[in-house]
Amino acid sequence: MGKAGAVLMVCRTCGKKGDHWTSKCPSDSFIDKPPGAETVASQSGSGKGAYVPPSMRAGAERSGTEMRRRNDENSVRVTNLSEDTREPDLMELFRTFGPVTRVYVAVDQKTGVSRGFGFVNFVNREDAERAINKLNGYGYDNLILRVEWATPRPN
């Protein structure tokens, strides 16, 4: 008959016991696989079932990292921020000059306290320039802000 206590595996695709695993099911008609899954596996060179990262899959947009990076041309660096300053505070202060796409306040990972500087990205360069002219030297939270163009990141 069989060994006592032996457990036969059941295929989730066809329901048969013990002859094969779900991933090797002969009756698998690729129901759960996205279109083009076989061509992606063959393109990776490592055969069927190889993992392919989402960014390498067919039809994937390759500009994900570029979309998350700040636009250096319209970026303003704000220094001399108090420990209590948070991103919504800077957003409220700077959005009066024009549409803001991103606000970042550097925060100490251990204490959660502001490190005293941040960046604000504007949609338009003219709005950023106006913000620099008006807010550089502005008294905010008992400190005098320094607002200037952010230096571009090295590549």
Residue 2 falls inside a structural domain: no
Task: Tell me: do 36 and 97 sit in the same domain.
Answer: no
pLDDT at 73: 77
pLDDT at 65: 43
Where b means 16+ CB within 10 Å and e means fewer, 85-117 reads beeebbeebbeebbebebbebebeeeeeebebe
Reported confidence tier of residue 146, pLDDT bands at 50, 70, 90: very high
Task: Tell me: do 53 and 78 sit in the same domain.
Answer: no
Nearest to 52 by CA among 61, 43, 65, 62: 43
Residues 85 and 87: their CA atoms lie apart, in Å, by 7
Task: Tell me: do 51 and 87 sit in the same domain.
Answer: no
Helices (H) and strands (E) in the chain, counts: 4, 6
